[in-house]
Amino acid sequence: MNVHTGTDASGYVTSETPPEAKRPRAPSIRDVAKLAGVSHQTVSRVLNNHPSIRDETKSRVLAVMGELQYRPNRAARALVTSRSRTIGVLTSHRSEYGPASSIQAIEEAAVLQGYLVVTANAEGADSHSIARAITHLLDQAVEGIVVIAPQVRVFDTLAEMQLDLPFVTLQSTGRLNDHALSVDQMTGARLATRHLIELGHRGIYHLAGPQDWIEAEARMEGFLREMGDQDVPTTAPILGDWTAEFGYHAGRELLRVRDFTAIFSSNDQMALGLMHAIHDEGLDVPRDISVVGFDDIPEAAHFWPPLTTVRQDFAELGRRCVALLIDHDELPEGTDAPGSVIPTLVVRSSTAPPSA
C-alpha cells in the first residue's frame, strides 16, 4: 500500500520548501473576469447561465475558464447561497446488495442534478447509532435525507431531534400515512406467494425481514393478504434479519417439524441460507421444498438451484427518491409518486409443484 503524488519527477533534492513555491491559489471567478475583460459578476452569470448575457461575452468567458482550468468553488457558493446542494443517505447494512445498488442509483441521479451525496451508515441500526448518523449528515448541511434503513426508528429519531428536514424513503411509511403501504413491494410479495399457491403448495412459510423496515413489513403484508385472498391457511411469519446466516438457522429449526412444502423468503440472502439448511438435511430444492426469494441479486441466478425470486429495480427506486427529494416542493403535498416501480417475478429452478 502506497501513497503517490501525481508528479513525482520534480527535481528537488532538498526537502526545504522549493523557492517561490507558495501553492498558487486556484483561479477564482475574479481571475477569469480580469482575463476576459469583464466583471466578476458577469462570470458568475455565465456560471449560472443567466438568460441575459450576450453570446459573444459568454463564449469569451467560457474560453478563459477552459484556459485557466477554472472550477467553481463549492464552499464559497454554499456559503453565500446557504444551500449545500447536498443530500444525505442514511443506511444500515450498506454493503449488502440492495442498499448498495440503491445508493449507487441515488448518487448517479443526484450528480446529474448537480447534487452531492453524502452517506452515513447506522451500523447496528439502534437509536444511538442512527442519531449519530443523522448528526453526521446534519454536519454536512444536507438539504434532505434518503432513508434506507429501519425507517420507523429513523423517523422517531428524526422527530425527537425536531428537525424540519425533508426526507424520503424507498417506500411510503405506512405510519405517517395511516398504513398506505406502497403497492409495489406488496405486489411483489403477492406475486411470489401466488406463484407458490398456483404450483399447488398449501403449507407455506414466510421468512420476513426486521419489522421496522418498511420493505419487510410490506412484503409480509403482501404475503398475508395473498394467502388470505386465496384461502390458504397461514402460519405466523418468522422474523429474520436479512442475513444468509439467519436463513440457515431458521431453516434448520423449521425442518425439525417439516409441516410445509414451500418457503417465501423476504430477500435472496435468507433464501440462500434456507436452501443451505435444506441441503444439509439431505433434502432437495425444489423436489422436497420450494423456495422463493426477493430482490434478484446478481448471484441469485447462480445459486444452486438457481433461485426463483422477485426482481426489484433498485436503480429506478434510487432515481425516484432523488427526483422526489430535489423537486419535492413542486409536487402537490402528500401525493404518492406517480407510477410505482412494479417488481416482476423471475421463475428459475427453486420452485416446483409439491411432490405428491
Partner DNA sequence: CCACTCTTTGTGAACGTGCACACCGGCACT
Partner DNA sequence: AGTGCCGGTGTGCACGTTCACAAAGAGTGG
Q: Which of residues 69-88 bind DNA (CB under 7 A)?
A: 70-73, 76-77, 79-82
Whether the Cβ atoms of residue 308 and residue 195 lie closer than 8 Å to each other: yes
Residue from the set 38, 43, 88, 121 that interacts with a second copy by CB under 8 A: 121
Of 129, 174, 178, 175, nearest to 149 (Cα)? 129
Whether the Cβ atoms of residue 227 and residue 193 lie closer than 8 Å to each other: yes
Residue from the set 37, 128, 258, 331 that interacts with a second copy by CB under 8 A: 331
Within 7-36, which residues bind a second copy (CB under 8 A)?
A: 7-8, 25-26
Q: Is 64 in the site for a second copy (CB under 8 A)?
A: no
Q: Is 140 in the site for DNA (CB under 7 A)?
A: no
CA-based torsion, 29, 31, 36, 37: positive or negative: positive
- How many of the other CB atoms lie within 10 Å of CB of 79? 11
DSSP secondary structure string for all residues of 131-148: HHHHHHHHHTT-SEEEEE
Q: Return d(Cα 73, Cα 257) in angstroms, integer.
A: 65
Q: Is 26 in the site for DNA (CB under 7 A)?
A: yes
Q: DSSP 3-state assignment of 280? A: helix
Copy the grid coordinates of residue 98: 440492495
Q: Is 161 in the site for DNA (CB under 7 A)?
A: no
Q: Is 44 in the site for DNA (CB under 7 A)?
A: yes
Residue from the set 54, 56, 334, 356 that interacts with a second copy by CB under 8 A: 334
Of 264, 314, 316, 318, nearest to 294 (Cα)? 264
Residue from the set 28, 127, 140, 243 that interacts with DNA by CB under 7 A: 28
The entry of DNA, a second copy, none near residue 30 (CB within 5 to 8 angstroms by kind) is DNA
Residue from the set 30, 128, 302, 328 that interacts with DNA by CB under 7 A: 30
Residue from the set 57, 104, 243, 349 that interacts with DNA by CB under 7 A: 57
Within 78-137, which residues bind DNA (CB under 7 A)?
A: 79-82
Of 356, 150, 354, nearest to 263 (Cα)? 354
Whether the Cβ atoms of residue 171 and residue 185 lie closer than 8 Å to each other: yes
Question: What is the CB-side half-sphere exposure of residue 9 using CA atoms within 13 A?
Answer: 0
The entry of a second copy, DNA, none near residue 141 (CB within 5 to 8 angstroms by kind) is a second copy
Q: Is 354 in the site for a second copy (CB under 8 A)?
A: no
Min separation Cβ 176 and a second copy, Å = 6
- Angle at alpha carbon of residue 340, lines to 317 and 97, rounded to 5°: 30
Residue from the set 141, 152, 232, 239 that interacts with a second copy by CB under 8 A: 141
Within 264-323, which residues bind a second copy (CB under 8 A)?
A: 269, 272-273, 275-276, 279, 298-299, 301-304, 306, 320-321
Residue from the set 167, 213, 223, 264 that interacts with a second copy by CB under 8 A: 167
Q: Which is nearer to a second copy, 1 or 257 (CB)?
A: 1
Interface characters, 201-230, with a second copy (x: CB under 8 A): ------------------------------
- β-pair partners for 239: 208
CA-based torsion, 232, 238, 243, 249: positive or negative: negative
Q: How far apart are the first and last CA of the chain?
A: 59
Q: Which residues bind DNA (CB under 7 A)?
A: 25-26, 28-30, 37-42, 44-45, 47-48, 50-54, 56-58, 70-73, 76-77, 79-82
